[in-house]
Copies of this chain bind each other. A is one copy, B any other.
Amino acid sequence: MTKNIKVNAAILIIGNEILSGRTQDTNTSTIALWLNSIGVQVQEVRVIPDIEKTIIDTVNMLRKANDYVFTTGGIGPTHDDITAESISKAFDLNYEIHKEAFKILEAYYKPGEFNEGRQTMAWMPKDAKLILNPTSGAPGFSIENVFCLPGVPSILKSMLGGLKNAIVGGKPILSHTISLRTVESEIASSLTLVQNNNKEVEIGSYPFFQAGKLGVSIVIRSEDQSKIDTCSSQILNFVNQKKIEVVNRD
């Protein structure tokens, strides 16, 4: 299913471990790349601590301002896992045992191992829809346009595929990257001209250091391949004139 309008999303990373700098978030990139491929553009990411009021207020703000909200983290069995209860409060829904989630978890663990800690993972907002977890049993859930996923990157990644039918995207956002052996200030004015001539296309310029050498990646993004191609040839035009080496195109 595709719509010809822009569809946007926010990502909400819930977790003190990211704010402390101890853990490097990688879920933003995973979710954003996947959303792009189904025509949803991420317009905002927030990282917030495991504080109930902060979670409630932020979710309520983001779900009104975006077509979709994806949260990560805080749905495990320990005391700092407060996402499900906070989301229940944000939507003013009962926080209760989800029968289907309970059955899935009960079947996942060996008899006698489905202890109290594990049972807490079956508590969700009333009438939540489950997001199945092929890696480690415990499901995520969604309520209206808010999708709650776990924080462990490999588990989160394994759950995205099952979500595809729940998301109605626009046209996929296409991109083309031209990597040059140059510095930004050598191409800045030429690139500005190309951007001004192609206002509907998003052109980004990103310096990089690779194997001790400087370079610039120019990223052209649009929903329309022909507009990307036009931009691309205008860029390669000034690149050739300036005798700048093209390192890579993809």
- A29-37, A162-170, A223-231: which one contacts chain B? A29-37
**Are B44 and A47 in contact, with the CB atoms below 8 A?**
yes
- A17-25, A96-104, A140-148: which one contacts chain B? A17-25
For the A-B complex with A20-B33, A21-B35 known, give 18 more contacts whose Cβ atoms are closer than 8 Å. Answer: A20-B221, A21-B34, A22-B177, A24-B26, A25-B25, A45-B46, A77-B184, A77-B185, A78-B191, A79-B191, A79-B195, A79-B203, A80-B203, A116-B188, A118-B185, A120-B188, A151-B206, A152-B207
Tell me how far the C-beta of A213 lies from the nearest C-beta in chain B, rounded to whole angstroms. Answer: 13
Given known A184-B77, A185-B77, A191-B79, contact A19–B31 (CB-CB < 8 A): no
Tell me how far the C-beta of A8 lies from the nearest C-beta in chain B, rounded to whole angstroms. Answer: 10
Q: In the bound complex, what is the Cα–Cα distance between A46 and B58 (angstroms)? A: 12
Residues on B with beta carbons closer than 8 Å to the beta carbon of A20: 32-33, 36, 42, 173, 175, 219, 221
Give which listed residue, B50, B77, B154, B206, contacts A188 with CB less than 8 A. Answer: B77
The binding surface of chain A is classed by DSSP as mixed
Residues on B with beta carbons closer than 8 Å to the beta carbon of A125: none
**Are B115 and A16 in contact, with the CB atoms below 8 A?**
no
Within 8 A of B (CB), among A122-151: 151
Copies in the complex: 2
| Interface residue? A161 (CB, 8 A) | no
Residues on B with beta carbons closer than 8 Å to the beta carbon of A203: 79-80
Interface size on A, residues (CB 8 A): 68
Give which listed residue, B77, B154, B205, contacts A209 with CB less than 8 A. Answer: B154
Give which listed residue, B22, B28, B49, contacts A219 with CB less than 8 A. Answer: B22
Tell me how far the C-beta of A3 lies from the nearest C-beta in chain B, rounded to whole angstroms. Answer: 20
In the complex formed, the residue of B with least CB distance to A189 is B117
Q: In the bound complex, what is the Cα–Cα distance between A219 and B18 (angstroms)? A: 12
